[in-house]
Structure 1
Amino acid sequence: MVTLVLGGARSGKSRYAQELASAFKRVVYIATAHRDDAEMRARIAQHRRERPSSWKTIEVSMGLDRALREAGPQGDLLLIDCLTLYMANLMGRKRSGRRKVRDHIQLLCEAVRDVEASVIIVSNEVGCGVVPPYRSGRDYRDFLGELNQQIAKVADRVILMVAGLPLIVKDRPAA
């Protein structure tokens, strides 16, 4: 079962994803954030306090597809938080070209589809705001939108968070 939880900044995405994950016994939390500054370190610390200590945490800034495949056997559920920062890592850290970013999107979608554990993925919905004034911002918005669409295609459930409330966008019945 693959669930995609989308929403704007501070919409309750992570909290809701963690509530869904609490129904599972063995959870592997895959964090994509970098500890670049004091504000991000504080956010990471807050997220750690909000989740059970029994959850295994893996920090991954690149190679999320590999991390997903490696973590699969370790948990009943893999919780990825979040694609938003992962895309920023892809585009910013490696200065990846368009082709390379699309290759990473494809690899990640394949890993999500192939892993045997259930997966919950958190991502920002960035297509509802203003058009960024710079090409790098437009590229980021476009690539994240493309990634969200590809994950939504393979997902069984897609949930849009609005002001802390979950709106069911897609709910494919279990086979």
Structure 2
Amino acid sequence: MRTLVLGGARSGKSVWAEEQLLAAHSGRTLYYLATARPWPGDDDFLARVAAHRNRRQAQADRYGVTWRTIDDADAASVLASPESLGPASHLLLDDVGTWLTHVMEEASLWDKPRGQVEPMTDALVDAVRDWPSNADLVIVSPEVGLGVIPEHRSGRLFRDEIGLLNQKLAALCERVVLVVAGCPMVVKQPS
């Protein structure tokens, strides 16, 4: 099943998503596609990534699960070739927001005219659409459209692009969950 988990910063969306996959596949090896890549010299973000890694492994240990973490890889490319992970490989993608930030940064899209991001996100959407039905895919993504309109163009561009991408992913996923203050709310589920 494909599940999209949305939530704001520090909402508990990653912890909830991990817990769901771990509980469903106790004693197995699972894949964790981590998209956060600290910028050189950003010690605060590096510490945040390390704390996240330690927390998720401690959580996995309780279920007898081993996470095989995939770092420094394009999420769309990894999802497009699930056979490289092995048969019926279950995967957690955390998160789409940091992936999109890096895609936009690498292509220098922050100051370019609108309309240039969508073709780059189509590869991710296509890979999610084609994900094998015998493997669980849990996707974590920020819900950023609940606040004020950002003052700066780059903030507005990111908010708009992640919102459009989340809509496309939600249309493909069988289950969509919004996590608010650690509380999951099912938005969409199989009937």
TM-score over 0.5 for the pair: yes
**Structure 2: where are the runs of 5+ without partners?**
none
Write out per-residue CA displacement over residues 90-138 of structure 1, whole angstroms, 9 at most, x where no aligned residue. Answer: 1123213544421122111110111212110001100001101121111
Q: Which residue of 2 aligns with 1:69?
A: 80
Look up the SS of the partner of 2:117 in the other structure: helix
Q: Which residue of 1 aligns with 2:68?
A: 56
Task: State whether structure 2 residue 18 is matched by structure 1 residue 18.
Answer: yes
The residue identity in structure 1 corresponding to 2:77 is R
The residue identity in structure 2 corresponding to 1:88 is T
Q: Please provide the CA RMSD for this pair.
A: 1.7
**Structure 1: where are the runs of 5+ without partners?**
none
Aligned length: 172
Q: Answer yes or no: is the 8 Å Cα contact 2:82–2:131 preserved in 1.
A: no
Q: Which residue of 2 aligns with 1:34?
A: 37
Look up the SS of the partner of 2:81 in the other structure: helix
Q: Which residue of 2 aligns with 1:145?
A: 163
Larger Rg: 2
Q: CA deviation at 1:69?
A: 2.5
Q: CA deviation at 1:73?
A: 4.7
Task: State whether structure 2 residue 18 is matched by structure 1 residue 7.
Answer: no
Task: State whether structure 2 residue 59 is matched by structure 1 residue 43.
Answer: no
Report the Cα distance in structure 2 between the residues aligned to 1:165 and 1:147, rounded to whole angstroms: 23
Task: State whether structure 2 residue 182 is matched by structure 1 residue 164.
Answer: yes
Report the Cα distance in structure 1 between the residues aligned to 2:81 and 2:50, rounded to whole angstroms: 25
Instruction: State the identity %.
Output: 42
